[in-house]
Structure 1
Amino acid sequence: MKVALVGIGKIALDQHVPAIAGSEDWDLACTVSRNGRVEGVQAFTDIHQMLAERPDVTVVSLALPPVPRFVAAQAALSAGRHVMLEKPPGATLAEVQSLQQIAKEAGLSLYTTWHSRMAQAVAPAKAWLADKVVTAARITWREDVRKWHPGQDWVFEPGGMGVFDPGINALSILTEILPGPVHLQSAELEFPSNRQTPIAARLTFSGNVLADFDWRQVGPQTWDIAVETTSGRLDLRMGGNVLEVDGKPVAGENTIMGEYPALYARMAELVRAGRSEVDLAPMIHVADAMTLGRRLTTDAFQF
């Protein structure tokens, strides 16, 4: 199937392009970006022009920042193309629900991707927890925004999500592996004095579940989820790619390179089956944090 990749930034070049290139399901037919390009691939700067000139493209994969994504997704669906959304799937819950309705009425596939759910140890962790009684869980998700979003001021603008850009990855794993749902009870959000979105957050959920997100960690990065049960302790490390049970390695490998190939394989399945997959659970937790969160002001941040 021919796919157009829209938004050629770091994540597109590091993950989407290699995943498409390594798949027998996909052919990267063209790109759409104001500045980015992929060597040897037809490049457009306007999605409407691409849709008009490339009717052979059946799928559009959107790796744009969240705020401009709705317009592009709506245009693609209106032109009869299946759509794949990078996480988070949109800037608001309502706009994603609108896209879901458009796709349903048009008989098209819409896929809200959560790449961290495709980490190697997530499925084994979910299976291990399925029959367990969870007594507590703690997320520690700390990384360096300068490393992962160098100079990208949009992450600190309204709709950019701030520290929830990586934090939502942890929430996507949590909502996948826990045997029952949880809901947010309280939150503290740290906003740099010169920015519009938080750089750190501490969340408290029902079920004795805590989350600690911080975008200021230099050196080794931390992407861990610990779950206590009446039958032992589970630890997911390296963003869900390594599983330990009671301190012993059980499954996984310290690499993230299998996540995006798995997303594209799933999209191929959905298109062939004529189905959509829209899960907003991680995004609902972020929206709740923005609603319930107590705002704290911290030092100004500059890239």
Structure 2
Amino acid sequence: MAAAQRHRLAVAGLGKIARDQHLPALARSEAFELAATADPAGGLPEVDHFDALERLLAERPDVTALSLCTPPQVRYPLARAALQAGRHLLLEKPPGQTLGEVEALRALAEAAGVSLFATWHSRFAPAVPRARDWVAGHRVERVRIAWKEDVRRWHPGQRWIWQPGGFGVFDPGINALSILTAVLPRPLRVVSATLEVPENCAAPIAARLSMTDDAGVAIEAELDFRQEGPQTWDMAFEGPEGAITLQAGGSRLSLDPPEGAPAMIGEYDAIYRRFAELIGRGESEVDVAPLRLVADAFLVGRSRPTEAFHD
């Protein structure tokens, strides 16, 4: 039987996340072929490149799918143009800078008859499904999240992250919230929040959130962009029948033997597999639950100024 033809896909926005994750995953993909890129700052020597997405959409009708990896502040008009041009669209997280933008894109995708995939890559970490299975069989009373990393290591020189719509510490913190909303079975709400905002920035460098659900689960999250040395991406689920901890961003479970979990497919490889499935089924997947928690944290949170941040 002949192999299925791969989708020709373009990547728009060739920043760190595209180069570190999307391009390697696409090189391994059996479903997608990297056919073009778009970025005003330049492209790859071996791939057809455009300095504007509008030119790519006009000149490459054979490109049927697009991965949008730009900062959230400029994403909506680009996503809108791609959907109106009839291209299937994958959105790097966060899917937009506001809930309204994402809901509008969902409606545009439906009207255009194309697939829209708002990705949450941390949900594809290997231990997350096993944590969800454990939680389904145990009563959870408390969740503790510690998501602390060094912004200088992961976002060097990226000023957009400190500007309005850039999310600050919630850019990585939303990964924790994406896992949380995938593992716990009931909708969550933010009870209170404290946001530490550097005096020279518009977005928080650290945050503490208290959340709950209708079962009264007490959820505390500490997010910090100032972590030096070892990085921390852990969440513990505790109850009267025991506890588990998701470690290293969902890569390991505390129930694993010391050598760790068996090797599994990478997060971004799994994202592109899922994108291909959605296109094949003519479906979209747009879950805004993590983004809603971030929006609610800004709505109910108390802002506290802190010292200026400098790269």
Q: TM-score range by the shorter chain?
A: over 0.9
Structure 1 position 213 matched with structure 2 position 223: yes
**Aligned residue-pair number:** 301
How far residue 181 of structure 1 moved from its aligned partner, in angstroms, is: 2.4
* Number of the residue aligned with 1:279: 287
The 2-side partners of 1:39 and 1:222 are apart by 36
Report if aligned partners of 1:5, 1:62 keep a CA contact under 8 Å in 2.
yes
Which one-letter code corresponds to 1:198 in the other structure?
A: P
Q: Which runs of 5+ in 2 are unaligned?
A: 1-6
Q: Which region of structure 1 is more displaced relative to structure 2, 177-186 or 11-20?
A: 177-186
Report if aligned partners of 1:82, 1:109 keep a CA contact under 8 Å in 2.
yes
How far residue 127 of structure 1 moved from its aligned partner, in angstroms, is: 1.0
- Secondary structure of residue in 2 paired with 1:162: coil
Distance 1:120 1:101, change over 3 A: same
The 2-side partners of 1:66 and 1:233 are apart by 36
How far residue 36 of structure 1 moved from its aligned partner, in angstroms, is: 3.8
Report if aligned partners of 2:197, 2:303 keep a CA contact under 8 Å in 1.
yes
The 2-side partners of 1:228 and 1:248 are apart by 19
Report if aligned partners of 1:65, 1:160 keep a CA contact under 8 Å in 2.
yes
* 2:167 aligns with one of 157, 161, 167: 161
Structure 1 position 244 matched with structure 2 position 254: yes
The 1-side partners of 2:40 and 2:146 are apart by 36
Report if aligned partners of 1:238, 1:254 keep a CA contact under 8 Å in 2.
no
- Secondary structure of residue in 2 paired with 1:252: coil
- Secondary structure of residue in 1 paired with 2:285: coil
How far residue 228 of structure 1 moved from its aligned partner, in angstroms, is: 0.2
Report if aligned partners of 2:42, 2:51 keep a CA contact under 8 Å in 1.
no
Structure 1 position 100 matched with structure 2 position 106: yes
* Number of the residue aligned with 2:4: none
The alignment-based identity, stated in percent, is 52
Q: Which runs of 5+ in 1 are unaligned?
A: none
Per-residue CA deviation, residues 136-155 of structure 1 (Å, 9 max, x unaligned), is 00100000000000000000
| TM-score for both structures, normalised by structure 1 | 0.96
* Number of the residue aligned with 2:81: 75
4+ residue runs over 4 A deviation: 247-251
* 1:139 aligns with one of 125, 141, 145: 145
* Number of the residue aligned with 2:16: 10
Alignment of 1:172-211 (within 5 A): 172-206=178-212, 207-211=217-221
How far residue 231 of structure 1 moved from its aligned partner, in angstroms, is: 1.7
* 1:115 aligns with one of 121, 125, 141: 121
How far residue 249 of structure 1 moved from its aligned partner, in angstroms, is: 5.7
The 2-side partners of 1:252 and 1:187 are apart by 34
How far residue 179 of structure 1 moved from its aligned partner, in angstroms, is: 2.5
Which one-letter code corresponds to 1:298 in the other structure?
A: T
The 2-side partners of 1:263 and 1:233 are apart by 29
Structure 1 position 21 matched with structure 2 position 27: yes
| TM-score for both structures, normalised by structure 2 | 0.94
The 1-side partners of 2:232 and 2:308 are apart by 23
Per-residue CA deviation, residues 230-274 of structure 1 (Å, 9 max, x unaligned), is 2210100000000113x866963699x700000000000000100
Which one-letter code corresponds to 1:286 in the other structure?
A: V
Which one-letter code corresponds to 1:276 in the other structure?
A: S
The 2-side partners of 1:253 and 1:240 are apart by 13
Distance 1:130 1:250, change over 3 A: farther
Report if aligned partners of 1:162, 1:197 keep a CA contact under 8 Å in 2.
yes
Report if aligned partners of 1:141, 1:212 keep a CA contact under 8 Å in 2.
yes
Per-residue CA deviation, residues 138-179 of structure 1 (Å, 9 max, x unaligned), is 100000000000000000000000000000000000000112
The 1-side partners of 2:43 and 2:245 are apart by 39
- Secondary structure of residue in 2 paired with 1:234: strand
* 1:128 aligns with one of 128, 134, 144: 134
The 2-side partners of 1:90 and 1:251 are apart by 35
Per-residue CA deviation, residues 50-78 of structure 1 (Å, 9 max, x unaligned), is 00000000001100000111011000000
The 1-side partners of 2:42 and 2:132 are apart by 38
Which one-letter code corresponds to 1:79 in the other structure?
A: A
* Number of the residue aligned with 1:265: 273
Report if aligned partners of 1:242, 1:253 keep a CA contact under 8 Å in 2.
no
The 2-side partners of 1:300 and 1:69 are apart by 28
Which one-letter code corresponds to 2:30 in the other structure?
A: E
Which one-letter code corresponds to 1:222 in the other structure?
A: T
